[in-house]
Amino acid sequence: MLIALDHGQIDAFVHAQESLKAALEEKPDQYRMLKEPIGETECGMAVSPKTRYPQLADQLNTFLAELKASGRGSSHPWRRR
pLDDT at 78: 45
* Helix (H) or strand (E) run with residue 55 in it: helix 55-69
pLDDT value of position 11: 84
Q: What does the pLDDT read at residue 73?
A: 62
Task: Please check whether residue 33 is in contact with residue 21, taking contact to mean a CB–CB distance below 8 angstroms.
Answer: yes
Burial 45-60 (b: 16+ CB within 10 A, else e): eeeeeeeeeeeebeee
Per-residue model confidence (pLDDT) at position 43: 66
* Residue-level pLDDT at 79: 45
List per-block mean pLDDT (blocks of 10 residues) for the chain, which spans 81 residues. 84 82 84 77 73 82 84 54 41
* Helix (H) and strand (E) counts in the chain: 3, 0
